[in-house]
Structure 1
Amino acid sequence: MLDIIYVLEMIGIVAFAISGMIVARSKNMDPVGVFTIGFITALGGGTLRDLIMDNHPLYWIKHEEQPMLILAMAIVFSYWKRAERLRESRIVFPDAIGLGVFSILGAQLALDLGHSWFVASLLGVMTGTFGGALRDTLCNEVPYIFRKDQIYASISFAGCWLYFVCQWFLDNEALPLTIGLLFIVIVRMLAVRFDIRLQRDPNNS
């Protein structure tokens, strides 16, 4: 199970880093900026989670291959000509993958440290959303988590609870994780595709 979790972590890091680097290139940032935004997007949520739970050393410090991977990706993105033509709309899918992976894994780590389902779900949401919020803030964009036209954090929260319930009923470690992860990714993509919102402006309805 640990190998599966590590693979998912790396997938989430790559996905979130790509979303950050696409936005950074769209803002004409240099290689340092591309690395910084990619790093913050991929590892910002996990860093906040570890600080809140007093979990030291920080996870990415114990696993230095993760920031090293982001640095290598930043170099490629900075000098890859086609990256200049990637639009910010392209970040939706990798961002959804990162949201799903880090929401579930963040919640599971909180459970492992003895926290309740409610606290673990909140920490899962923080892990899944904080890096993207920092990315958007630093790039002078309104973060997804605060946009009225986006269902974002609520999907993460619901996915964490689905994961907990599946763990309770299913005698299998990998299946609940897969269900929770796919729920977050699929619902997030459907929300964007069909403009599903928690609240609509009555003046525009």
Structure 2
Amino acid sequence: MFDIIYVLEMTGVIAFAISGMLIARSKNMDPVGVFTIGFVTALGGGTLRDLIMDNHPLYWIKHQEQPILILCMAVVFSYWHRVERIRESRILLPDALGLGVFTILGAQLALDLGHSWFIASLLGVMTGTFGGALRDTFCNEVPLIFRKDQIYASISFAGCWLYFACQWLLENESLSLSIGVLFIFIIRLLAVRFDIRLQRDRRPVQ
């Protein structure tokens, strides 16, 4: 198979690293802070996944080009002054893309290691959301996954099951991966655009 998995991994790393570095710059962090936030955002979820599944060496240790790429991006983001003009709200696109990519790849790896669909879906959600949760926590923000006005982890969970269904019905790994990633990416954007939530505050009876 054309290495679509590796292409998706690098796409996810870049997307999540961008989302982390944008917030880091908005918080006036120095280059070390920009690299740290970009690193934990891009690789935190995969690290947790590998530790839980006892999958060693950790993926980013085996593929050192990923942290090297993040380091190069951190240098650009720290010294390219135009980055300061990018509003923090612009993290939506890279964050949604990173969520989709890492959720599906996390679930796919769990299946390859022999885990059930349900366990694979939980590991996929962890892979897709944990890096962003670390990013927001380190930047003194309420993580997106915990915000009542956001639909986030549930989209990731649903995307895993769509991926499983496509894999079972289509028997085409590349197409199933692509459908799962695109579903999460598009639904996440639509959820923000149309303010879709799992729960809304109840208005007091007058």
Q: Which moved more, 1:2-11 or 1:160-169?
A: 2-11
Three-state SS of the structure 2 residue aligned to 1:57 is coil
Structure 1 partner of 2:179: 179
Q: Which moved more, 1:59-68 or 1:1-10?
A: 1-10
The structural deviation recorded for 1:2 is: 5.8
Structure 1 partner of 2:91: 91
The structural deviation recorded for 1:178 is: 1.0
Aligned structure 1 segments of 4 or more residues deviating by more than 3 angstroms: none
Q: Alpha carbons of 1:180 and 1:197: their partners in 2 closer, same or farther (altered >3 Å)?
A: same
Distance 1:204 1:127 in 2: 38
Structure 1 partner of 2:162: 162
The structural deviation recorded for 1:171 is: 2.4
Give the share of equivalent positions with the same residue, in percent.
83
The structural deviation recorded for 1:86 is: 1.5
Distance 1:14 1:176 in 2: 22
Structure 1 partner of 2:129: 129
Distance 1:173 1:49 in 2: 21
Counterpart amino acid of residue 77 in structure 2: F
Gaps of 5+ in 2: none
Distance 2:165 2:75 in 1: 42
Counterpart amino acid of residue 145 in structure 1: I
The structural deviation recorded for 1:48 is: 0.2
Counterpart amino acid of residue 80 in structure 1: W
Distance 2:165 2:120 in 1: 13
Distance 1:204 1:148 in 2: 18
Within-5 A mapping of 1:7-86? 7-86=7-86
Q: How many residues align?
A: 205
The root-mean-square deviation of aligned C-alpha atoms, in Å, is: 1.1
TM-score, structure 1 as length reference: 0.98
Three-state SS of the structure 2 residue aligned to 1:148 is coil
Counterpart amino acid of residue 63 in structure 2: H
CA deviation profile, 1:78-126 (whole Å, cap 9, x unmatched): 0010111211100000000000000000000000000000000000000
Structure 1 partner of 2:120: 120
Three-state SS of the structure 2 residue aligned to 1:202 is coil
Gaps of 5+ in 1: none
The structural deviation recorded for 1:203 is: 2.2
Q: Alpha carbons of 1:194 and 1:57: their partners in 2 closer, same or farther (altered >3 Å)?
A: same
Q: Which moved more, 1:159-168 or 1:80-89?
A: 80-89
